[in-house]
Structure 1
Amino acid sequence: MTKTFTGVAATLAVLMTSVMPVAADWRADFGTYNIGLLGGENEADRLRRYDCFADLMSDALGVPVELFPASDYAGVMQGLLAGQLHQAGVGASAYAGVYLQDPEAVSPLLTTKNVDDSLGYYAVIYVSADSDARTLDDLEGMSLAYADPNSTSGYLVPRAELAAAGIDDTTYFSRTGFGGGHEQAVIAVLNGQYDAGVTWTSLMGEESDGYTRGNLRRMVDNGLLDMNDIRIVWESNLIPNGPTIFRNDLPEDARDLAVSTMLGLKEQDPECYADTVGGDGNGYAEVDHSFYEGIVAMREAELAGSR
């Protein structure tokens, strides 16, 4: 009996060894790897900028990669919560919104590094260059366009900092609204639909270029903005750069390959890196939830105040 059992066990071990690598390969029934793209820029430009990234990720992962541009931030957030997206680069407030709905759904693993390796950026309020407004005080009684209700720099932080300065935006401004995204809000100000708007920028580098990165830089690069046509009248405190977040139920190998690809992106393909981050930077840095705890608390306070 012992000899027979040993023989059977050995046979089973051989069979399991031959089967396990196939069964353990997450690619076998994974389908497509889906990456969400935030709104705030027209869809054609977003897809054009990320085509190279999709190709690099597909090569690294060994599965097809699909890009999903959403019309607004909420679309990407819901896609991540529902498991329809596997990763997305988002703002800190959008991550906080996902986390507060389901703390187990996603994790922030990467953020962009600025040209000096710092990890922050600024919200700014801008006006058309022909506006009489030159300071925040001058904006009293004027209209203001926020970018998106789930934007860190385009809503959460400027509204919180205005409140901390004793400014109630519902009474200080003649009206506030949402431009439908950062790019759309700038266009709305230039077209005279709003007196002022809010967007994000590194505030590093040449002002005429739209700085090193941010919405202004992206618009300048796309031929949609001449920096001589606007004037910045207010800037926020430093905001943590937004994360690339990944679904926690991703196969570990898939997540590790995706992270490794992004960490090497600037060196492997500098042009693709510049296209995807929207300007100049120095690669990616690894982060975790603790880097965004302040924004999570700010978002939680905002939600509590709206109830």
Structure 2
Amino acid sequence: MFTRFVNSAAAAAIAVSAFASPALANDWKAELPVFRVGLLGGENEADRLRKNDCMVQQLGEKLGVKVELFPASDYAGVMQGLLAGQLDAAQLGASGYAGIYLQDPEAVEPIFVALENDGSDGYYAMMYARADAGIENLEGMKDKSLAFADPNSTSGYLVPKAELEMQGINPDEYFSSTGFGGGHEQAVVAVLNGQYDAGVTWTSGVGEVKDGYSRGALNSMVGKGLLNMDDLRIIWKSNLIPNGPWVVRKALPAEPKQIAIDWMEALYETDYECYVNVSQGEGKGFKRVEHAFFDNIVEMRKRELEGSR
């Protein structure tokens, strides 16, 4: 249960808080003394907390209540927290949002997606192998092992699986084995260590390849000195995927919801470094979106769920 996660997170002091200047109490502040933000897995917990500390400080000041970050070990932890009303906001992949919507359409609403450096609002799933493995393309992956990132990841599972199936490839038969790396960063490490022959992850698809592109899991790892792109070869790329949304709890009072929206909308202009950290890479700001932006992913996730029954 996510409740146990929250309790253990607090006990382990992994929640980070910021208090704003004293202000007159508003009715909604009595109802919402803490604004709780879920952080998806994908990279180590300390890095996630560090990158989002600017949000803790700045949004806490705007709201006049403390902001707490709750980093889950996997995507499901954040999804469960939102469904249970134990989180007020989070950044999700499109598949994670679709999974929540299919369980409870009234749980959350999407507010923003990040724009890439070229102004586009989508990204790509890419399959990568070790550069020295002799695997040049998807055909070279026949009877080789593949690491998906997370069962609730759009680029790390849903889209690659669906697009491969549309190409007539059954992953269970085509690859010698498949598994989950436990997150994007963890799957890359598993491939580099020879535990899998290839993996799939997300990238903006724009920018310099040596930098791991301008945004995404590879870019983050290059920036932290954990990856040299010369050690990987990109062997497959998906069609364009809609960027994942920042969501807020639908039942959130109107005033704090608007304060959070206004802060995020201006962040690209007011503090670009914070924007880069919160949005997981360089880009052109946030774009307002509604549910219809994710219609295709919702249908894809629905078919995946129906196929697994």
Is TM (by shorter chain) over 0.5? yes
Match of 1:223 in 2: 225
Q: SS at 2:125's partner residue?
A: strand
Equivalent in 118, 121, 124 of residue 120 of structure 2: 118
Equivalent in 242, 245, 267 of residue 243 of structure 1: 245
Match of 1:210 in 2: 212
Q: SS at 1:130's partner residue?
A: helix
| Deviation string, structure 1 residues 197-248 (Cα, Å, up to 9, x no partner) | 0000011111111111000000111111110010000000000000001100
Match of 2:47 in 1: 45
Match of 2:296 in 1: 294
Match of 2:272 in 1: 270
CA distance in 2, matches of 1:24, 1:273: 29
Q: Which AA in structure 1 matches 2:114? A: T
Q: SS at 2:277's partner residue?
A: helix
Q: SS at 1:123's partner residue?
A: strand
Q: Which AA in structure 2 matches 1:204? A: V
Please say if residues 127 and 198 of structure 2, whose CA atoms lie closer than 8 Å, have aligned partners that are also in contact.
yes
Larger radius of gyration: 1
Equivalent in 87, 90, 97 of residue 88 of structure 1: 90
Deviation at 1:278, TM superposition (A): 1.9
Q: Which AA in structure 1 matches 2:281? A: G
Scaled by the length of structure 2, the TM-score of the pair is 0.91
Q: Which AA in structure 2 matches 1:142? A: K
Match of 2:4 in 1: none
Identity of aligned residues (%): 59
Point out where structure 2 has 5 or more consecutive residues left out of the alignment: 1-23
Point out where structure 1 has 5 or more consecutive residues left out of the alignment: 1-21
CA distance in 1, matches of 2:41, 2:85: 19
Scaled by the length of structure 1, the TM-score of the pair is 0.92
Between 1:184-193 and 1:201-210, the stretch displaced more is: 201-210
Q: Which AA in structure 2 matches 1:59? A: E
CA distance in 2, matches of 1:37, 1:257: 20
Please say if residues 122 and 241 of structure 2, whose CA atoms lie closer than 8 Å, have aligned partners that are also in contact.
yes
Give runs of ≥4 in structure 1 deviating > 4 Å. none
Q: Which AA in structure 2 matches 1:140? A: K
Deviation at 1:151, TM superposition (A): 0.1
Deviation at 1:28, TM superposition (A): 2.7
| Deviation string, structure 1 residues 155-210 (Cα, Å, up to 9, x no partner) | 00000000000000001000000000000000000000000000000111111111
CA distance in 2, matches of 1:52, 1:77: 23
Please say if residues 114 and 283 of structure 2, whose CA atoms lie closer than 8 Å, have aligned partners that are also in contact.
yes
CA distance in 1, matches of 2:261, 2:113: 11
Match of 1:155 in 2: 157
CA distance in 2, matches of 1:87, 1:23: 22
Root-mean-square deviation (CA), in Å?
A: 1.0
Aligned length: 286
Deviation at 1:23, TM superposition (A): 8.7
